[in-house]
Amino acid sequence: MAREKYRFNTPAGRVFDVFNVALLVALGLLAMLPFIYVTAGSFATESELATRSFFLWPETFSLRAYESILTSPAFLRAMITTIAVTAVGTVVQLLLTASMAYPLSKGNLPGRRLMLSLIVFTMVFSGGMIPTFLMVKDLGLLNTYWALILPAAINPFSLIIIKNFFQQLPAELEESAKIDGANELQTLWSVILPLSKPVLATFALFYAVGIWNDFMSPLLYLNDNSMWTLQMFLRQVTVATDLSIIEADPSQLPPAQGVKFAVIVVATLPILLFYPFLQKHFAKGMLIGSVKG
């Protein structure tokens, strides 16, 4: 297409492209390197980890670390639990947030500014761990998975950004829906949301990651070990040796370095793979056609 060529094929444009690609690929590799190290370490033997400092490929390949994790039914159960809770939780949180963001994006709604101020205030201040715990307890949510989803259901930051996105959508879209007889609920569902795919996908990712990485909530609200999520394992394996200033219990060895790495890999990989799924929603030009039509 002539237009395409015109856009990019100036000499300066081409140089820039090459430089840009090189730079970004370098950044990508730089970002990747430590994770490769962790992955490589998870496949190495203990003695190799103790002797070589930084490597990207293990000399002796060992599946020992993974064996010890994956043969543990507790770990597998935690994996499935975490995936389920994350999936359901993300949808619930996203729906709650979007449905609240939409009315707040209407500048003429009475009480809007007050509500927004109250919401923003919660970004800088919270009651704290114990008061929130007591509230969850009083609502009877202790030892349920809802305690992992509801207390953080609406992230004020996400709410505000989504609201702003809604605000930037052209007013004609809603007007034409109104002319067709739709109320706001229907407008939201059939017009606004489909057009907000990039931002919704973004926050689906943020919420999913938030739930996935959350170790505080399971710790506080779940007593039953059979309900544990992956982060409890991860935390236990990595933090115990690194952050403790209490003298370590003499009879215990710290977890093997290889196991530590393997847990990191297994606890991180699924959520890493979530992003490529969402990337198609980040495609350009979502608005073309809808305005004209």
Q: How far is the CB of 270 from another protein (least distance, A)?
A: 11
- Between CA 251 and CA 243 the distance in angstroms is 19
| Residue 43, C-beta contacts closer than 8 angstroms, at least 6 positions apart | 58, 61, 62, 63, 65, 66, 258
DSSP character for 53?
Answer: S
User: What is d(CA 35, CA 276) in angstroms, rounded to the nearest whole number?
Assistant: 17
Q: Which of residues 97 and 191 has its CB atom nearest to another protein in the complex?
A: 97
Question: Taking the CA atoms of the chain, what radius of gyration do you get in angstroms?
Answer: 24
- Residue written as token pair 């996105």: 165
Separation CA 33–CA 208 (nearest Å):
24
Nearer to another protein, 116 or 176 (CB): 116
Residues 6+ apart with CB under 8 A from 241: 248, 254, 255, 260
Decide whether 57 or 244 has the Cβ nearer to another protein. 244
Closest CA to 272 of 43, 39, 65: 39
Which amino acid belongs to residue 291? V
Quote the least distance from Cβ 110 to another protein, whole Å: 6
Q: What is the dihedral of CA 12, 15, 17, 19, to 10 degrees?
A: -130
In the bound complex, what is the minimum distance in angstroms from residue 275's beta carbon to another protein? 6
Q: How far is the CB of 253 from another protein (least distance, A)?
A: 6
By beta-carbon proximity to another protein, the closer residue of 181 and 247 is 247
Task: Provide, rounded to whole angstroms, the least separation between the CB of residue 208 and another protein.
Answer: 12
What is the nearest approach in angstroms of another protein to the Cβ of residue 113?
A: 5
